[in-house]
Structure 1
């Protein structure tokens, strides 16, 4: 085995190429990919717009794929895994030439955790990027039990995790989503629901006097969501390049996902115990990645698309 298939982007659409199979170095593992999630950020990578966001240099191509579920097939020196371990991981670096949407991927062991037992790989592959983003955004919001959190895009993949994890932390969640998503987001743990067509700030302040303590703006609403936050509250953006003025003494910040094996292991535990819902919209083979990208770009999905090598 010397070569493998991998997806690269940077010129507008994903391209399937043949590249050498990577080797695991010290404190790394090589994973035989069973499933790899497709995220909105993959569309930006494929389009070659990372440099415009100021998060990567302008390169001819970039490896595609952040989420992986699969089986460890090579262990580097010092990595605390064994060949045959079922794992999930996050390929967080943006400029790697080959990433998770491939037959094999090499990751630092610090970006990998054992997969939730009894969960199909396609479902497990939806955990890392979205789950870690939600976890880290909630940490940054810094709320205590009983405080109020606004989540925009609450029916989406990241938004759904935000609602569930916030409810597990004892937060009172105001969920913003499409009018047909109320039952879904309430089932995830939202106490209040606001349709995205409503006057957001007015609707939220009618539910929570003075405004919510924090907002995680997964839907990139911006100022309309910031206006729903109380004076001195916290506004967390998940989109690179989005910068708002910290009006009324608010703490305006952004969170960009990072790999964290301990957090990933805790997310897997929550899945195993039935406290975190996994949603797969559909699966595609690697050679149909362009179809998956087009479907994601068209919007309206509830759950993640997943590539299955």
Structure 2
């Protein structure tokens, strides 16, 4: 039996529950691709998985060993039956969005569905590319749910964060006029992403502040900061509102169309995002890189907050 290292949880808990263990190297089944991991992004969903929140909510089965990690960048190591378009030696990025498998991307190798992978364009380093899948696809799919035309106005809360930053940049590329809500010190950052207006996140009434800038309210909102009803008031009647998964999905008052974006792996969409990043039109922000053995430290730093960019683990 071939073995590898993987970060797993045997008992749900805090960062100390993360264990670097030797496990059987997974084999790709039909439609699967085994990736030799070069970098794995560290995301809040990894922390809630570790803590048992997903299992407690019935979103994943309780098992003896739970793997951690969704984002991956690496090199194709082997392909399963029926896979076309990927071959050993090819550089890829991907999103492991299946919760019914034992291991995650915090590992030496990871197996993903071929449909969840995309080739990596030249010019993107693995530790940079690993910050893109989960947050980039979440932002893209949130904007797709809103379905706003060019020239429409959009509020993005948490605009300096990983999802929010991508949402501002992608919205600007679509010709949307963006109001960015973020920390006072992040105004230059979010304007650099393409925001036309800025609202400090500590204002007493975010909706009123947005309406001062856009009379009548914005056409839509991406609520990456999980403000819920406090952001809904900024949206005009019969507008659109998308809450990021885990956030409060408010009642669609005043005819507002409300949805919650639950991430879905999408290889072609990820390839599009990767090309935008390689062309310098989408910003990939790495807060720091740490070896796989320091996964617990990465989760401690994630819990403290204040990061600009993603922490990345490297085997």
TM-score (norm 1): 0.97
Would you say 1:155 and 2:160 are equivalent positions? yes
Closer, same or farther: CA 251–66 of 1 in aligned 2, 3 Å: same
Aligned to 2:275: 269
For structure 1, list consecutive stretches of 5 or more residues without a partner in the other structure. Answer: none
- Written as runs of structure 1 = structure 2, the 5 A alignment for 1:1-309 is 2-9=2-9, 11-12=12-13, 13-79=17-83, 80-198=85-203, 199-240=205-246, 242-309=248-315
Q: Deviations over 1:105-153 (max 9, x none)?
A: 0111100000121211000000100010010000001100000110000
Distance 2:178 2:37 in 1: 36
List, as ranges, runs of 4+ consecutive aligned residues in structure 1 with deviation greater than 4 Å. 58-61
Does the CA contact (< 8 Å) of 1:213 and 1:234 recur in 2?
A: yes
Distance 2:92 2:71 in 1: 11
Structure 1 range deviating more: 178-187 or 117-126 = 117-126
Distance 2:137 2:25 in 1: 27
Distance 2:53 2:310 in 1: 22
SS in 1 for 2:297: helix
Does the CA contact (< 8 Å) of 2:160 and 2:182 recur in 1?
A: yes
Paired residues, number: 309
SS in 2 for 1:78: coil
Closer, same or farther: CA 226–43 of 1 in aligned 2, 3 Å: same
Closer, same or farther: CA 276–94 of 1 in aligned 2, 3 Å: same
SS in 2 for 1:22: coil
Closer, same or farther: CA 234–60 of 1 in aligned 2, 3 Å: farther
Does the CA contact (< 8 Å) of 2:227 and 2:248 recur in 1?
A: no
TM-score (norm 2): 0.95
SS in 1 for 2:159: coil
Q: CA RMSD in A?
A: 1.3
Distance 2:246 2:58 in 1: 8
Does the CA contact (< 8 Å) of 1:115 and 1:268 recur in 2?
A: yes
Structure 1 range deviating more: 152-161 or 12-21 = 12-21
For structure 2, list consecutive stretches of 5 or more residues without a partner in the other structure. Answer: none
Distance 1:283 1:20 in 2: 26
SS in 1 for 2:35: strand
SS in 2 for 1:166: helix
Q: CA deviation at 1:53?
A: 4.0
Does the CA contact (< 8 Å) of 2:49 and 2:55 recur in 1?
A: no
Does the CA contact (< 8 Å) of 1:29 and 1:72 recur in 2?
A: yes
